[in-house]
Structure 1
Amino acid sequence: MRLVPRLGSGIPLVARGDEMRRLRAGFARAEHGEAGAVLVAGDAGVGKTRLLAELAEFATARGALVLTGRCLDVREGGLPYLPFAEALGPLATADDAAVGAAVRIRPALARLLPLAQPGPVATAEHMSAGSERDMAYRLRPEQDLGQLQLFDAVLGVLTEIAEHRPVLLVLEDLHWADGSTRNLLSFLLSRLRGQRLLVVASYRGEDVYRRHPLRGLLVELVRLPAVAQIELHPLKDADARAFVEALADGPLAPELVTSVVERSEGNPFFAEELLASCSDCVDLPAGLAEVLLARLERLTSDAQRVLRVIAVAGESVAHAALAEVSGLGEDELDEALREAVQYHALVVEKGAYTFRHALLQEAVYGDLLPGERTRMHAAYAARIRRTPQGRGHDAKLAYHSLQSRDLTAALPALLRAAEEAERLGAPGAALRHVEQALEIWDAVPPDARPPDFDELRLLHEASYFAGTSGEPERAIAYARSAVEALSTDTDVVRASKTWRRLAESLMNVESESGGALDAINRAWDLIEATESSKTRAWVLATRAAILRSFDRHGESLVSARTAVEDARAAGTAGAEASALITVGALADNAGDFAEARARLTEAARKARDATAPSVELRALCFLGYSYDDQGELPEAIDVFERGIKRAEETGMTWSAYGLELRARHLSLQYQRGNWPAESVTAAPARGVSSVLTARMTATWLPVVVSRGGFATAGKLLAELRTHWRAEPLTAIAAGGAGAELAYWQGDHETAIRRAAEAMDYLDALDPAYRLSGIRLGAGALAAAVARAAAARRRGEPADVEGGAQLIERVRRAAATGRPRSGSLGPEGQAWLARAEAIASGLPGAPDPALWAEAVEKFGYGPVYEQAVCRWQYAEALLTVGEPEQAAAELKQAHETAEKLRALPLRDAVREVARRARIELPGVPAAALPERVDPLTERERAVLERVALGRTNRQVGEELYISEKTVSVHLSRVMAKLGATRRTEAVAIAYERGLLVRA
C-alpha cells in the first residue's frame, strides 16, 4: 500500500480542542473591544503553526483582518522587526480605503513598509486614542525618537484599523526574534486596552534556555493582565494514533501505526515525517535527522561528545559511566552536561542523563562515524563486564558486544538474556535474543559456542517464543526449519520433540492446522515403542488434543488417558494437566458438564503448580467455553478474566490462548452490555501478528457498528477481509457486523451479500463452522424482509423467494451444525428464534408470538440483542393493534439503547414511537419528529460536489465562489458532523441520510 501523507493545511487538527476554544474565546473578547494577547509555547513540530492557522481561518470567516509574520533563524545580528514587517506588509498595498488612510498618515511606518506612500501628518481628528497617547512619547527628548515614532505608528495603525474591523496579529517563532522585535512586542502588549485586537505569538519552549534573551521578556509579559499563556503538549497515544491514521488516504497496518506513534512520542511533525518517508519506519528520514541535528550544532565540542556517548548507550546513563566512556575530565564533563541540559537536549531522570526525545538520540547515533561507534560500544561492553550483574545485565552486554562486533562475547550473553526474559515473562524479548543468536551462530567458532546449545535447540526455542509472543506464522516457520535440520543421527527424543513443536505451532493457525495431525503422528511413531517418560507423555497429550479437533473423539480419549498415566509415572504435572484438558473437553462434548468442569479446574490448578502457563491458559479457556456454551455468562466472564490476568502475569497476553481469552471476554462483555468506552485493541504489542490483531478488531467491530461508528466500521471491514482464511472466527464476526452495518445504512443488498459471502466461505472452508450460519443468516434475513417491505411500499413485487431460501439455510445450519456440547445451546436457540421471527415478516405482517419467543430466548444475557428483538416485537404488536404492550417493549428497548449509546437502535425505536404517537420517558417531544438537517443549503451543495470527487477549486468554479470560501464551508461542515477530514464528512453525511447516493 502506498502511503499518501496529508501535508500542509490538510493535516487534521487533533486533540487541540481546549487550546482552540481558548484562542477563539480570546478573539471573541477582542471583537467586543477587549484587546488581548496569547503566548503559545511548544516544542518544534508539536502543532503550533497548525493551531494558529486554524485560528486565522476562524477569524477570517468572521470578517477579521489577519496579519501574520514569522521570525527567521539568522543567527547573529538578526533582521530588525522582521515579523512585524512581514505582518504589516500587506497594509501598504491594501485596497481598503480605511487601511490605506491609516498607513499614509504615519510616515514612520516606511521603516517597515517601503511601499507605503507618505501622506499628510496626522491631525487631531485623524488620531486614534492610541496615537494621542503615543504622541506624548515624541515629546520626550531623552528617548530614541525614531524608535518611539515607529512603535507609536505600529500601535496607532492597528488601533485605527481595528475601529473598522477586528484585527488578529500572529507572530511566529519568537525564539528567533531580534532585540528590536522583542522591544516592539513588549511596547505593543503593554498598551493593549480597548482595541478590537488580538495578538498571538508562538515560540519553542525547548529553545528558550536559561540565558536566552527571550526568557526575561516572557517573565515580564505574562505579568500583564491582557496576556495569557497556552502550552502545547505532545499528543497522547490515542490522539496520536488518530492523527497517524488520518495522515494516510488508505488503511494502515496496526503495527505500522504503533511504530510511528511510539517513535514520534506524540509529536505530529515527527509522526508525519516518519510516515511519509518509509513504509516500515525503521530508518530515520534524512530530512528529519537534519532538523534534529541542526539545534545541536550550536553546542560546544565537549557537549556534542557527551551527546554521542549517551546516544551509543541507548538508555539513561549515570555520571560515572559517562566519565569513563567519554574520557572527559570531571570539570569538562560537568560543563558539557550543564550546557546540554540547559539547551534541552538532555533531561535528568533519577540521577541519570537521557535524551529529551528518542528521535534525537536516533539522529545523533546515526551521525556517528563507524569507528567512533564501534569504539564507544566496546567501551560500554568492557564496563558492563566489570560491573556487578543485575537485571538486564546480559541483554546490555549482548547489545554492545554485537555493535562492537565481538561476536564471541555476544553469543553466550544473548542466550543468558533469553533465559532471563523468559523468567520475567517477556517471550517477545526472548525471541529477539534467540533470533540474534541464530544470526551469528555460524560466525562464532565452534569451540567458542556454549556447549549445551546447538542450532536445533535455538530453532526449537525460537518457534516456542514466537508462538507465545503473538507471532504464530513465525512459530511455524522456525518449527519447520527445525524439522528440516533433523538428521539420521538425531536422538529419537529430540526428534519427537521437534515434530511435536511443529504440530503445536500448526494447530495455532487455522489455515495450517491440517498438517498438525501428520506432524504429531510422526512424533508418536518415533516415541511409541519407548517406556513412559516426560517426552512420551507430552506427545500423547498433544496428540489427544489434535485428534479431538479432528472429531476423532474415541482415539483422543484413549490417547489422553494414556498421557495421564505416563505423566504421573514420569512425574510431569504439565503434561498431565494438558491431557486432563482434553479429557474435560471431551466430557463437555458429551454433555457431562459437571465432569468437564471438574477436570478442567483440576488441569488449571496442576498447570499453575507446574509453572506451565500455556497449559494453564488453555485449561481456563476451555473452562470458560463450558460456561459460555450453556449461557452461563457471568461465570464465563469470571473465568475469562482470571485467564486474562494470568496471561498478563506470565507475559503471554498475545499467545494463542491469551488472545482467545481476551477475544471471548470482549465478546461476552458486548453481550452483557458492558461496552468499553473505546477500543481495547487500540495499541497492540509491537510485533504482534496482524492475524491476531485482526481477531481482536473483529471482536470489537460489533460495538463500533451498534454505536453508529459507520465510517470507522467500513474501514475496519476492508482491513479484516484479508485475514478470513487465517482465522475463520474473524470471518464470522466481520460477516455478521458487516451485514448489520449495511442494514442500519439501508443498503439491504449489501447486507445480504456480506452475510451470504461469509456463510459460503465458512461452509467451503470447514463444515465445523456451519453453525455460524444461524446468526449470519438472521442478519441477511433482516435485510431481506426490509427489502421486501420497501418494495411493497413502492407498489412493486416483493422478493419473498430470496428470504425463503435464507430461512431454509438457517434451519439447515441449526440441524446439521456441530455444537461443542453436542446440542444447540442458548445462544444458538435464541438466534434461531430470531431468524424465525424475522422470516415471519416476509409475506407481510410479522408474527408477534414469534417475536415474543425471540425476546424470551435472549433473556439469558445478551441485552443489546434482546433490545433489538423488543423493538421489532413492538412493531409486530402495532400491526395487530396492541399499542399498550408495544409501548412497554419500546420503552425497555429505548432504555437499553440509551444506556449503551446504541444510536442506530435508539433512533429506530424513536421513529416507531413517533409514528405510533408513543411517549418515551426522558425524550422531549422535539426529539421524536424527523431529525433536523444541520447543513445549510450552501454547505450541502459543497459537500455534494466533494462526494463526487471534486477538488476545492473545482467546487468553487461550479458554485461561482472562491476556493478559500469552499475551504471555510468544508471546515464548518466537518465541525458540525464531528469529522476530521473531508472524506469522513462525506461518509457521515451518507450514514445520517444527509446526502443521497446517486
Structure 2
Amino acid sequence: MHLVPRLGSGIPLVARVDEMRRLRAAFSRAERGEAGTVLLAGDAGVGKTRVLAELGEHTGGRGALVLTGRCLDVREGGLPYLPFAEAFGPLATAEDPVVVEAVRARPALGRLLPTVQPGPLVSSELVPVTSSEPEMAHRARSEQDLGQLQLFDAVLGVLARIAEHRPVVLFLEDLHWADGSTRNLLSFLATRIRAQRLLIVASYRGEDVHRRHPLRGLLVELVRLPTVTQVELRPLSPTDARAFVEALAEGPLSPETIASVVERSEGNPFFVEELLASCAEGSDLPAELAEVLLARLERLSPDARRVLRVISVAGEGVSHAALADVSGIGENELDEALREAVQHHVLVVEDGSYTFRHALLQEAVYGDLLPGERIRMHAAYAARIMRTPQGRGHDAKLAYHSLQSRDMTTALPALLRAADEAERLGAPGAALRHVEQALEIWHAVPESSHPEGVDELRLLHEASYFAGTSGEPERAVAYARSAVQELRPDSDVDRAAKTWRRLAEALNNVEGAIDEAVAAIGRAWDLVAESEPGRTRSWVLATRAAILRGVGRREDALQSARTAVADARATGTAGAEASALITLGGLADNAAEFEEARVRLLEAERKAREADAPNVELRALCFLGNSYEDQGEIDRAIMVYQRGITRAEETGLTWSAYGLEMRSRQLQLRYFSGDWPTESATGAPARGVSSALAARMTASSLPIVVSRGRFAMAAKLLVELRPHWRAEPLTALAAGAAGSELAYWQGDYPAAIRRAEEVSDFLRVFGLDYLLSEIRLGAHALAGAVAQAAAARLRGDQPEERDAVATGERLLEQVRYAAVNGRPRAGKLGPEGRAWLARAEAMASGLGGKADPARWEAAVEAFGYGAVYEQAVCRWHHAEALLAAGEPARAAREVREAHEVAERLRALPLRDAIRSLARRARIDLPGLTEETGAAAEPAQSRVDPLTDRERAVLERVALGRTNRQVGEELYISEKTVSVHLSRVMAKLGATRRAEAVAIAYDRGLLAKPSGAAV
C-alpha cells in the first residue's frame, strides 16, 4: 500500500480539546484503579493516530507503560492476534523485573511472544482437523479452545500484574481490519477488567464498519458495558481547519489557497495535508490521494461502482428517479447497488437524494472516468433536465451538463438565463461565472443560434458590472476596456455612452486609475452632452459628478450633479437622481454643511432603495457613515455602516466597492471604540474575491491582532500584506501603523520607526490625498524614537540618544506639516486627526527625558470622542508623566482606568505594561496580586528574604542601571535606592552589587534579565 508522507508530524495538535479531555479523564480513572475501554471512532485521515500519539505522550509522561499494536489490511484470512503480538513485543525484551517476572510466569504468552516457551496446550502446530478422524478433530478443537482460553487469561494476567506496579495503556489501532481472534481477545479483556490500573483504547474507521462488517456485532456488545466509553473524532470545523492549514504551511499562503484547501478537505486533516502538498488552488486531485480514495471502492460490486460513476457526474445530490433514468440499471439491481454503497458509507441520503459522503471522493471517482463516459453521462443528464419542469437552478444545471457534453448551442442560452437568475437572487459572483462561460463559447456557437438581442458587447458590459459587484475590480476594468474596444464608428451613440460610462465607473474603483476614469467619463459626456435629457444622459452626468468631486473639481462636480438631478426627475430615472444626490451630499460635507449633507444622503438612500438600485443605496450609506465618522460620532457611524453591511448581504453586494468599504470601516471603528470582535467575526472574504480586497479586510483586523498580543500571527500577516500596498494604499496605512506598534511592544524601537516611515514614504507617491495619514504614522514612530532615546540614556549611550532625539524632532515636524497641509474631507481636521496630533505632541515632549503631563492630559481628552483603546494607551503614558512629576495620586487614577480597559479588551501588551508600571510605582490594582502573583514576579525559593521593592531594585541593578536610573524608573529617590541595596546585600551576605545579583540568580530569587523595562 502506498504511504503518503505525513506533513503534520511535529506540529501542535489542532482542536480536539473535548476529545483529549475525555481520553485523559479515562486515563485518570484508570490511574485510580478504575479500568476501562475507550472505542475511538472516526473517518480515515481524521486524526485518530495523531490523537493516540498525543494521549501516549500524556500517559507516558505520567509514568504509564504504553503498549501499541496495529491491525493490517490483510484480506486473505488475516493474521491472528497481530495487534496484540505487536503491542506485547517489547515485553519480551523488557528489563523491568516486574515485567520479566510477569511474562515468565505465563508461558501461554508464547503465541504472542516468540521468546516465551509455549505450554503443552498452546502449541502453534495444532493437529489438523479432518472429517475422517472425528475423535482427533474433537480433541484438536478442545485443545484449541483450551489454548485460547489460557492465552486470554495470560494476556489479562500479565496486564493486571504490571498494572500493580505502574498504570498500563494498551492502544489497538485500526480495529476494522482485526481478525476474529483479535476481536475475541478484545471482547474477553473488555468484559473482565474492573479494578486494574489499565486503559484499553481501540480505534476504528466508522465509515468502514458497514452493516455486515464482522466488527459491528462486537461494537454493539461492547457499548453496553459500563466500563466502555465511545469517543468520536469528527472533521475539523472550518476555523480549526484553517488553523491546521496555517500550522502546516512552511510559508505564507494566499487567502484563496487557504480557503480552497479548507473547503475541499471538509475538515479531514489527511485531506488537508495532501491538498496542501499539491498547493494549487482548484488543481486536480493529487494522484496519491485519489488512489487512497478509490481503493475503498474496489470491494464494491460492478453495479455499485457504476452508480457511483453516474452520481459523480451530477456534481450534486441525485434522486432515485434520475439515477434510474441515467444509469440504465434495472430497478432491483439499482436498489441493491445503492444499498451496498450506503451501507459501506460511500453514499449518504440527504433530503431524498444520494450524494457522496465526502466531496473529494466524488472528485476521485469523476477524475477516474473515461472521456467518452463523461460526455455520454453529461448528455444524459442534460436531456433529462430539458424534460423536467423548470425550477431554481434549472438553467445553471442545464448549462453545466451541456458544456461538459460539448453541446454549445444548448449551453449558451442556458448560461444567459442562469446569469439573469443569479442576479435576481443576489449572487453576482455566480452571474459573472455564467457570463464568462458564455463569452468563452460565443464564437463556437453559430451566429444563427445566438439568442436574440444579445451580442458580445452586451456580454462584456455585464461581465464588467458583475465583476465589480462581486469583489473583483481589476477584472471589471479589464472587461470594460474590452467592451470599449468592441465599439465601432457606427455604434449607437446611446450604447457607446453607456460603455464608456461603465469603464469610468470601473476605473474609479481601482487605485491609481483616476486620470483614466476622468478621460473615460469625458468621452461618455461628449457623446450625450448635446442630446435631450434621458436615462443614459442622467446616469452619465451622475457618474461624471462623482468622479469630478473625487479629483477636487468642486464647481464642475456641483454643476453636473444638479443637472443630473434635474434630468433624472424629468425622465423618472430615480437611480441616477439618487446617485447625484449622494455627490451633492458629499460636497456639502466637504463644505462643513453637515446637516444638509445628511439630509441629502438620507434622501438618496431612500430613493435608491425605491428604485431598486442597491449599489447606489450602498454608496449613500457609505457616505453617510463617513460623515458621522469624520466628526467623531463613532456610535452613529457604526450603526450606519452596519445598516449598509446588512443591505450588502441582502443584495449580494457584500464585496462590492462600497460593501467592502463599510465592512472595513466598521471593523476599524469597532477597534477604536473598544468593541473588539472575535477573530471569526472579522469578515474574511470568501473564495473568488480579489486578493487586494481580501488584504484590505486583513489589514483592518491587524490592529486588533497586535493589541491582543498575537505577535507571531501579526508578523505573518504583515508579510502577506506587503504585495498589496500599491493596489490599496489603505492597506499600507493599516499595516504601517500596526507594524510600528508591533515592533514597539516587542522592544525593537528602530523597527517601530522604520516601519512607520516606510509607509509614509510610500504614501507620499499618491500626493496630498494621503498626507493626513502621516499624523497617525508619525505618532507611532515617535513612540519608538522616545523609547529608543530613553533606552540609550539608561545605557549611557549619548550618541544613540542624540540620534534618537533628532529623529523624534524630525518626525514631529512632519506630523505638524501633515496636520496643516493635509486635505480633510470636511475642510478642517476632525476629532481623530486632532487626537493623533495631540498624542504626537505629548510623545515628543518626552524626547529629552521627563514628558509633559499637561500634554498627555490633552491627548487623553482628545481621544475622549470614543476611541477607547487609544485613550487607554494615552492614560498609561499620562500616568508615567505624572509619576515622574511627583503626582502619584493622579497617576494611580489613570493607571486604574487604563488597566480596566486593557483587561476588558484582553489587550495583553498594554495590560502588562500598565501592571509593570503599577508594580514599580506601588499602585494597587484590583485582582493584580491574584492574577499575576508568581507568574508576574521572578521565580523565588521557598524562603524569600527580599521584599517586592528590594527585588525591583535588584532587577534593575542586574540590568546595569545606576542608582539614579533605578530611582527614575521606580519613582523613588537615589538615596532610597541606596538604602534598599544595602539591605539586599546584608540579607544575601554580599559585599558588592554584582555579588548580590549573582547570589540572587543562584538562589532563584531573580529571573534572568530579558531587556529594558517597558
Same fold (TM over 0.5): yes
Report the secondary structure of 1:9's partner residue. coil
- 2:885 matched to 1:884? no
1:606 shift after superposition: 1.1
1:707 shift after superposition: 0.9
Counting only pairs closer than 5 Å after superposition, residues 373-388 of structure 1 correspond to structure 2 as 373-388=374-389
Tell me how far apart the structure 1 counterparts of residues 913 and 580 of structure 2 sit (CA, whole Å).
51
5+ residue gaps, structure 1, are: 123-137, 937-991
Tell me how far apart the structure 2 counterparts of residues 624 and 273 of structure 1 sit (CA, whole Å).
45
Equivalent residue, structure 1, for 2:351: 350
Tell me how far apart the structure 2 counterparts of residues 90 and 461 of structure 1 sit (CA, whole Å).
71
Equivalent residue, structure 2, for 1:65: 65
Contact 1:238 1:682 in 2 (8 A): no
Report the secondary structure of 2:747's partner residue. coil
Equivalent residue, structure 2, for 1:987: none
Equivalent residue, structure 2, for 1:290: 291
Tell me how far apart the structure 2 counterparts of residues 852 and 678 of structure 1 sit (CA, whole Å).
33
Using a 3 Å threshold, how does the CA distance of structure 1 residues 876 and 5 change in structure 2: closer, same or farther?
Answer: farther
1:60 shift after superposition: 2.5
Cα deviation code 1:325-380 (max 9, x no counterpart): 11222222222211111111111111111111111111111111211111111111
Counting only pairs closer than 5 Å after superposition, residues 666-745 of structure 1 correspond to structure 2 as 666-681=667-682, 683-745=684-746
Using a 3 Å threshold, how does the CA distance of structure 1 residues 10 and 187 change in structure 2: closer, same or farther?
Answer: same
Contact 2:684 2:694 in 1 (8 A): no
Equivalent residue, structure 2, for 1:834: 839
Equivalent residue, structure 2, for 1:857: 862
Q: Please give the root-mean-square deviation of Cα atoms over the aligned residues, in Å.
A: 2.2
Counting only pairs closer than 5 Å after superposition, residues 314-329 of structure 1 correspond to structure 2 as 314-329=315-330
Cα deviation code 1:690-725 (max 9, x no counterpart): 101111111111111111111111111111111111
1:582 shift after superposition: 0.9
Equivalent residue, structure 2, for 1:75: 75
Tell me how far apart the structure 1 counterparts of residues 780 and 1008 of structure 2 sit (CA, whole Å).
22
Using a 3 Å threshold, how does the CA distance of structure 1 residues 192 and 514 change in structure 2: closer, same or farther?
Answer: farther
Equivalent residue, structure 2, for 1:32: 32
Report the secondary structure of 1:209's partner residue. coil
Report the secondary structure of 2:187's partner residue. helix
Equivalent residue, structure 2, for 1:46: 46
Equivalent residue, structure 1, for 2:912: 907
Contact 1:511 1:727 in 2 (8 A): no
Equivalent residue, structure 1, for 2:564: 563
1:264 shift after superposition: 0.8
Tell me how far apart the structure 1 counterparts of residues 371 and 903 of structure 2 sit (CA, whole Å).
63
Counting only pairs closer than 5 Å after superposition, residues 72-111 of structure 1 correspond to structure 2 as 72-111=72-111
Contact 1:630 1:825 in 2 (8 A): yes
Tell me how far apart the structure 1 counterparts of residues 726 and 882 of structure 2 sit (CA, whole Å).
43
Tell me how far apart the structure 1 counterparts of residues 440 and 682 of structure 2 sit (CA, whole Å).
33
Tell me how far apart the structure 1 counterparts of residues 686 and 765 of structure 2 sit (CA, whole Å).
33
Letter in 1 for 2:824: P
Using a 3 Å threshold, how does the CA distance of structure 1 residues 745 and 212 change in structure 2: closer, same or farther?
Answer: same
- 2:901 matched to 1:896? yes
Report the secondary structure of 2:170's partner residue. strand
Report the secondary structure of 1:37's partner residue. strand
Contact 1:434 1:458 in 2 (8 A): yes
Report the secondary structure of 2:240's partner residue. helix
Tell me how far apart the structure 1 counterparts of residues 740 and 315 of structure 2 sit (CA, whole Å).
49
Counting only pairs closer than 5 Å after superposition, residues 397-412 of structure 1 correspond to structure 2 as 397-412=398-413
Report the secondary structure of 1:510's partner residue. coil
Contact 1:666 1:699 in 2 (8 A): yes
1:164 shift after superposition: 3.0
Contact 2:65 2:167 in 1 (8 A): yes
Tell me how far apart the structure 1 counterparts of residues 627 and 161 of structure 2 sit (CA, whole Å).
80
Higher-Rg member (1/2): 2
Report the secondary structure of 1:686's partner residue. coil
Letter in 2 for 1:573: A
Equivalent residue, structure 2, for 1:437: 438
Report the secondary structure of 1:228's partner residue. strand
Using a 3 Å threshold, how does the CA distance of structure 1 residues 610 and 346 change in structure 2: closer, same or farther?
Answer: same
Cα deviation code 1:546-578 (max 9, x no counterpart): 111111111111111122122222221111111
Contact 2:684 2:697 in 1 (8 A): no
Contact 1:541 1:559 in 2 (8 A): yes
TM-score, length basis structure 1 = 0.90
- 2:12 matched to 1:16? no
Equivalent residue, structure 2, for 1:514: 515
Letter in 1 for 2:484: V
TM-score, length basis structure 2 = 0.88
Equivalent residue, structure 1, for 2:185: 184
Report the secondary structure of 2:765's partner residue. helix
Report the secondary structure of 2:349's partner residue. strand
Tell me how far apart the structure 2 counterparts of residues 993 and 644 of structure 1 sit (CA, whole Å).
51
Letter in 2 for 1:730: T
Tell me how far apart the structure 2 counterparts of residues 50 and 601 of structure 1 sit (CA, whole Å).
57
Tell me how far apart the structure 2 counterparts of residues 424 and 95 of structure 1 sit (CA, whole Å).
72
Aligned residues, how many? 923
Q: More deviation in 708-717 or 406-415?
A: 708-717
Cα deviation code 1:274-308 (max 9, x no counterpart): 11123224211111111111111211122222211
Cα deviation code 1:141-187 (max 9, x no counterpart): 79811111211222222222333332221110101111110001111
Contact 2:483 2:499 in 1 (8 A): yes
Tell me how far apart the structure 2 counterparts of residues 356 and 25 of structure 1 sit (CA, whole Å).
32
Equivalent residue, structure 1, for 2:922: 917
Report the secondary structure of 1:12's partner residue. coil
Tell me how far apart the structure 1 counterparts of residues 819 and 168 of structure 2 sit (CA, whole Å).
71
5+ residue gaps, structure 2, are: 123-138, 942-1006
Report the secondary structure of 2:66's partner residue. strand
Letter in 1 for 2:669: L
1:993 shift after superposition: 10
Report the secondary structure of 1:924's partner residue. helix
Letter in 2 for 1:270: F
Tell me how far apart the structure 1 counterparts of residues 730 and 604 of structure 2 sit (CA, whole Å).
26
1:796 shift after superposition: 2.3
Using a 3 Å threshold, how does the CA distance of structure 1 residues 730 and 8 change in structure 2: closer, same or farther?
Answer: closer
Cα deviation code 1:112-152 (max 9, x no counterpart): 22234569999xxxxxxxxxxxxxxx9x9798111112112
Equivalent residue, structure 2, for 1:542: 543
Tell me how far apart the structure 2 counterparts of residues 257 and 380 of structure 1 sit (CA, whole Å).
33
Contact 1:705 1:741 in 2 (8 A): yes
1:995 shift after superposition: 6.8
Tell me how far apart the structure 1 counterparts of residues 439 and 704 of structure 2 sit (CA, whole Å).
43
Cα deviation code 1:71-106 (max 9, x no counterpart): 111124111111111111222233434333332332
Letter in 2 for 1:96: D
Contact 1:5 1:247 in 2 (8 A): no
Aligned identity (percent) is 74
Equivalent residue, structure 1, for 2:806: 801
Letter in 2 for 1:249: E
Tell me how far apart the structure 1 counterparts of residues 940 and 385 of structure 2 sit (CA, whole Å).
66
1:15 shift after superposition: 0.8
Letter in 1 for 2:226: P
Equivalent residue, structure 2, for 1:963: none
Report the secondary structure of 2:616's partner residue. helix
Q: More deviation in 435-444 or 567-576?
A: 567-576
Equivalent residue, structure 1, for 2:248: 247
Report the secondary structure of 1:10's partner residue. coil
Cα deviation code 1:300-325 (max 9, x no counterpart): 12222221111111111111111111
Tell me how far apart the structure 2 counterparts of residues 884 and 587 of structure 1 sit (CA, whole Å).
47
Tell me how far apart the structure 1 counterparts of residues 436 and 772 of structure 2 sit (CA, whole Å).
41
Counting only pairs closer than 5 Å after superposition, residues 658-669 of structure 1 correspond to structure 2 as 658-669=659-670
Contact 2:69 2:84 in 1 (8 A): yes
Counting only pairs closer than 5 Å after superposition, residues 325-724 of structure 1 correspond to structure 2 as 325-681=326-682, 683-724=684-725
Letter in 2 for 1:85: A
Tell me how far apart the structure 1 counterparts of residues 306 and 737 of structure 2 sit (CA, whole Å).
60
Equivalent residue, structure 2, for 1:988: none
Tell me how far apart the structure 2 counterparts of residues 556 and 604 of structure 1 sit (CA, whole Å).
20
Tell me how far apart the structure 2 counterparts of residues 532 and 632 of structure 1 sit (CA, whole Å).
40
Equivalent residue, structure 1, for 2:958: none
Tell me how far apart the structure 1 counterparts of residues 575 and 669 of structure 2 sit (CA, whole Å).
29
Tell me how far apart the structure 2 counterparts of residues 712 and 640 of structure 1 sit (CA, whole Å).
28
Tell me how far apart the structure 1 counterparts of residues 547 and 33 of structure 2 sit (CA, whole Å).
79
